[in-house]
Amino acid sequence: MSDEAERKMQFLYALRSKGVTDSRVLTAMEKIDRGPFIRGLFAGRAYEDMPLPIACGQTISQPSIVGLMTQALQVSARDTVLEVGTGSGYQAAILSQLARRVYTVDRHRRLVHEARAIFDALQLSNITAFTADGSFGLPDQAPFDRILVTAAAEDPPGPLLAQLKIGGIMVLPVGQSDTVQSLIRVTRHETGFDYDELRPVRFVPLVEGLGRD
Ligand code: SAH
């Protein structure tokens, strides 16, 4: 077996052993190579199940967490999805394989530009990336079937709850500190919201306003 095939097999094995069992999610993660989303010093470690540093002091999430969050979001092929926290663009690229349309926003212009270049190179034409403070969502594109937030807030931001369709699902990390956070799933019903706590996680914070670069 080639080195690359073996690396890919180990990568998928690590995902399965950490609870990523949804075959559509595994297929998407097999197809989208994590390598192009990581530059510089850490490029050689793209296939390890670890979070890694990216530009602007941010991190690309651990692949198994990307898989578990995507699985919890229960995306279907007709869905319009909003991701808050583009970062490297890897999570958005995975979502693009499962959804009809993906909007992704980051407060750092530089990350959005770099992610767009990768989406273009990979011909992921159903992703639109914006520079914006994602805690306000994207009012012009709302409502969304699914919302995924990849930075931690104290509570689910009100505008994101408001931009979720009835029957819609939002998955996000919440917590009062950088160290103790829970991944939760919010489901919107006719009359309100249901909250499920999924697992402990650790994400960079959701920060107000735009970044300097
Ligand atoms: N999903 C990314 C990892 C995200 S790291 C990936 O697949 O690589 C979290 C990201 O959230 C960072 O890039 C950070 O800039 C962004 N972020 C933090 N607060 C934000 C806000 N209010 N609006 C938009 N993006 C925000």
- How big, in percent rounded to 5, are the helix, strand and coil portions of the chain? 35, 30, 35
- Between helix 63-73 and helix 23-31 the angle, nearest 10°, is 140
pTM of the model: 0.97
Does the C-beta of 173 come closer than 6 Å to ligand 1? Answer: no
Question: How many whole angstroms separate alpha carbon 54 and alpha carbon 164?
Answer: 29
Question: How many whole angstroms separate alpha carbon 194 and alpha carbon 51?
Answer: 29
- Between helix 3-17 and helix 63-73 the angle, nearest 10°, is 60
Pocket test for ligand 1, best of 206, 208, 210, 213 (most atoms within 8 A of CB): 206
Instruction: Give one DSSP letter per residue of 128-181, joined into a string.
Output: EEEES-GGG--TTT--EEEEEE-SBBSS--HHHHHTEEEEEEEEEEE-SSSS-E
61 is catalytic: yes
Using only C-alpha atoms, what is the Rg of the chain? Answer: 16
| Residue 213 buriedness (CB in 10 A; 0-12 / 13-18 / 19+) | exposed
Question: Which ligand 1 atom minimizes the distance to the CA of 60?
Answer: 8
Question: How many whole angstroms separate alpha carbon 29 and alpha carbon 66?
Answer: 9
Question: How many whole angstroms separate alpha carbon 155 and alpha carbon 2?
Answer: 46
pLDDT tens-digit series, residues 143-170: 999 999 999 999 999 999 999 999 999 9
Pocket test for ligand 1, best of 108, 127, 133, 136 (most atoms within 8 A of CB): 108
pLDDT of residue 110: 97
* 213 pLDDT higher than 90: no
Pick the residue whose CA is nearest to atom 10 on ligand 1: 85
CATH superfamily of 3-201: Vaccinia Virus protein VP39 (3.40.50.150)
Lowest-pLDDT range, 38-47, 122-131, 138-147? 38-47
Does the C-beta of 69 come closer than 6 Å to ligand 1? Answer: no
Cβ(12)–Cβ(30) below 8 Å: yes
